[in-house]
């Protein structure tokens, strides 16, 4: 039968204290129920956690000697779920393993990902030494790196974004540019405000419309997509070779016609056009003798102007 203390009595214990209630276990703390009965319980049950101005850690094993699984930093108002590397930025959040959220209001989600600038986000799957990096202000990087990725590559420019894919890079001088999907998209320096992707496909049929539309064409030299009026690309079906290139005579399709590269009339020949036809003018001749209408066996008629003189 136990002994109950009166409200006016005090207990002072010197030396070791052993309280056996049947609830003993390693690393438990002494607590009571609403009736004042004492018993041993896990440290996370009914225990006030100190550290108003320090870092508080919760662990699976109930003590602070294990790997931290939940860390709250009240000074920086920052939270880590999992493990992190380095300090937490103010108002930052990190979830996953081996992540760094050092930027102010930065977020990380995944494994081996670093968000090191203000309001940056890094997520996905990196590897040690070649982490997913989001170091530009308000940059975004959710992708994957493997062993072939270049160290320090990632979303380095302010306002840049990497959406999916493998081993991408947006340099500091290419602000507000985006890399989407694909592999090894290394955006050139000083190319801001540009979207890069490996391939583009349209799942559903595109919408149709009337005339007076523009088309998108690809320039293989600059690797950019340009806008061009349909009138410069449309035309009747033809089999012209070397259209616009090589040694062919046609430059491009223009409306419903083929546009010549050039027409050379030669000596004393005048070329003109009315917009719908080409006129070729030659020299005027004055007859000095009759026209020889004799022909060879394979000719229909032969005109001999050798006896004519020019005026």
- Tell me the average confidence (pLDDT) per consecutive run of 10 residues in the chain, 311 residues long: 62 76 78 81 55 57 54 84 85 94 97 98 97 98 98 98 98 98 96 93 76 77 79 52 57 65 71 74 60 53 53 51
Distance CA 140, CA 76 (A): 22
Distance CA 195, CA 133 (A): 19
CB 19 within 8 A of CB 37: no
C-alpha dist (Å) from residue 8 to 5, 19, 32: 8, 22, 19
Give the pLDDT score at 45.
44
Give the pLDDT score at 143.
98
Please tell me the pTM assigned to this model: 0.58
Give the pLDDT score at 102.
95
Give, for 215, the enclosing helix (H) or strand (E).
Answer: strand 214-219
């Amino acid at each position: 039968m136990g002994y109950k203390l009166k409200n006016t009595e005090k207990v002072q214990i010197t030396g070791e204290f052993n309280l056996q209630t049947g609830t003993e276990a390693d690393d438990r703390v002494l607590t009571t129920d609403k009736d004042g009965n004492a018993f041993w319980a896990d440290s996370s049950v009914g225990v006030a956690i100190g550290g108003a101005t320090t870092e508080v850690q919760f662990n699976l094993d109930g003590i602070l000697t294990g790997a931290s699984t939940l860390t709250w930093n009240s000074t920086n108002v920052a939270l880590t779920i999992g493990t992190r590397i380095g300090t937490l930025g103010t108002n930052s959040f990190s979830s996953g393993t081996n992540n760094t959220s050092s930027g102010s209001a930065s977020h990380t989600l995944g494994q081996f990902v670093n968000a090191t600038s203000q309001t940056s986000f890094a997520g996905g799957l990196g590897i040690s030494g070649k982490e997913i990096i989001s170091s530009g202000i308000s940059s975004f990087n959710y992708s994957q790196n493997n062993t072939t990725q270049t160290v320090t590559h990632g979303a380095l420019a302010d306002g840049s974004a990497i959406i999916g894919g493998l081993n991408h890079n947006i340099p500091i001088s290419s602000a507000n540019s985006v890399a989407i999907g694909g592999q090894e998209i290394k955006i050139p320096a000083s190319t801001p405000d540009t979207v890069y992707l490996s391939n583009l496909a349209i799942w559903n049929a595109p919408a149709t419309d009337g005339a007076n539309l523009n088309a998108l064409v690809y320039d293989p030299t600059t690797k950019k997509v340009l806008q061009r009026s349909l009138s410069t690309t449309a035309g009747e079906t033809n089999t012209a070779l070397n259209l616009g290139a090589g040694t062919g005579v046609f430059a491009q399709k223009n409306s419903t016609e083929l546009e010549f590269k050039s027409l050379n009339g030669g000596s004393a020949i005048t070329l003109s056009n009315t917009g719908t036809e080409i006129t070729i003018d030659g020299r005027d001749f004055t007859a000095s003798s009759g026209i020889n209408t004799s022909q060879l066996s394979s000719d229909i008629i032969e005109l001999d102007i050798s006896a004519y003189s020019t005026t």
